[in-house]
Amino acid sequence: MAEKQEEPSNTQNGEPENAEEGEEKKKKKLKREDLPPFEIVTGERLPAIFFKFQFRNVEYSSGRNKTFLCYVLETQGKESVTSRGYLEDEHAAAHAEMAFFNTILPKCESSLRYNITWYVSSSPCVTCADRITETLKKNKNLRLTIMVGRLFMWEEPEMQAALKKMKSAGCKLRIMKPQDFEYVWQNFVEQEEGEEAKAFVPWEDIQENFQYYEEKLAEIL
């Protein structure tokens, strides 16, 4: 997320040109300070335009500074229950992976088994990877598979170490194949009301980029 630029000011001696302008700036400052540290957007289906931009498995992810996480949560007990949806972090301070454990699955019941599959626009950061590792170590009844479109900062040694820890804790980390993108398109992306569902149209370099990231992940793990 780009840093906020200082608002241009026509002030002299630290005073605004008029009281109304000064009051307006105070309101803007107050609004910014009143914002929560982050906001998590949840839902069942994400807009197609977000999917096409955020999930694209490009090598250089310029401008893609959000995390989109689609999930399938299977809870197995006396009766099996499956839920699905998506999370999107609204501000840079938020991480959708953290939000999943805080809001979608805040507590793991020891009498239940959980099979979770995430389809994420990019792999987790170091902090989120560590949280995933800790959660899996504490909850042996939880199985997590993460399908990612891109690898995030994979050249960094700290990031590579965090991904290895996730694997050792039992997390299955995979690169999304073209078929996985199609699955997300069919199951998690909004379709226009009143229209037939549009077929998934793979982008030109989808297969080559999948192979590129799959090789990089294999080298790391």
* 16 part of a folded domain: no
* 13 part of a folded domain: no
Rounded to whole angstroms, the Cα distance separating 174 from 155 reads 17
Question: Which of 74 and 94 is assigned the larger pLDDT?
Answer: 74
* 195 part of a folded domain: no
pTM of the model: 0.73
Give the domain range for residue 82. 41-190+201-220
Cβ proximity of 149 and 121 under 8 Å: yes
Lowest mean pLDDT among 94-98, 99-103, 124-128, 142-146: 94-98
Please tell me the predicted confidence (pLDDT) of residue 65.
Answer: 60
Any idea what the CATH number is for the domain that residue 176 is in? 3.40.140.10
Cβ proximity of 123 and 96 under 8 Å: no
- Backbone CA torsion sign across 52, 55, 60, 62: positive
Q: From the candidates 74, 97, 192, 195, give the one annotated as an active-site residue.
A: 97
DSSP string covering 76-101: ESSSEEEEEEEEEE-STT--HHHHII
* 99 part of a folded domain: yes
Average per-residue pLDDT for the chain = 76
* 33 part of a folded domain: no
Number of domain units in the chain: 1
Cβ proximity of 160 and 218 under 8 Å: no
* 14 part of a folded domain: no
Coil vs helix vs strand at 68: strand
* 65 part of a folded domain: yes
- Backbone CA torsion sign across 152, 216, 148, 63: positive
pLDDT at position 180 over 60: yes
* 168 part of a folded domain: yes
Rounded to whole angstroms, the Cα distance separating 120 from 69 reads 4
* Number of other residues whose CB lies within 10 A of the CB of residue 163: 25
Q: What residues form DSSP beta bridges with 69? A: 87, 120
- 97 catalytic? Reply is yes
Please tell me the predicted confidence (pLDDT) of residue 26.
Answer: 38
